[in-house]
Amino acid sequence: MNKEQQELLDEVYENYKRFTHSKNEKDGNYGEYSKWGDNPLISGVQHLTKGTFIQMIKIDFEFSERWGLKIEERELTTVRERKKYDIHFDDLFGEYTDHHETLDKRGVPRKLITITYNDKTIESYE
């Protein structure tokens, strides 16, 4: 993930924490879902770590919709897709398995990560 994507995830997670955390130290108010305390059995809220929050966004459509964040990861499976990101692609023709190995050696990405939040989309490659 690039820096811009990481900053966006940090922002969304901070919003999540503010919305669900038991008490805001600044104004003393409780988050909407924590009026009954930090106990998830009573309040119905489980406070997720950042890593778990991101995993939930990736796998749970309703959770993703609720927080307005969408994370898609897609493997670049064809040589043609990957060659777009290699400045020396002229020497590779066709779809051969060893071309993937060549692109790997050149550090050409294998995965596209797309993050969408508030109608803003950021793409990065790994």
For residue 95, which phi and psi values (nearest 5 degrees)?
A: -115, 90
Residue numbers of the domain that contains 100: 3-125
Number of domains in the chain: 1
Cα angle value 7/13/15 (rounded, 5°): 105
Q: Greater confidence, 125 or 33?
A: 125
Looking at residue 27, the DSSP 8-state letter turns out to be T
2 Rama class: left (phi>0) / alpha (psi -120 to 50) / beta: beta
- Tens-place pLDDT, residues 22-75: 554 555 554 544 444 444 444 455 678 889 889 989 998 988 998 899 999 999
Predicted local distance difference test score (pLDDT) of residue 94: 57
pTM above 0.75, yes or no: no
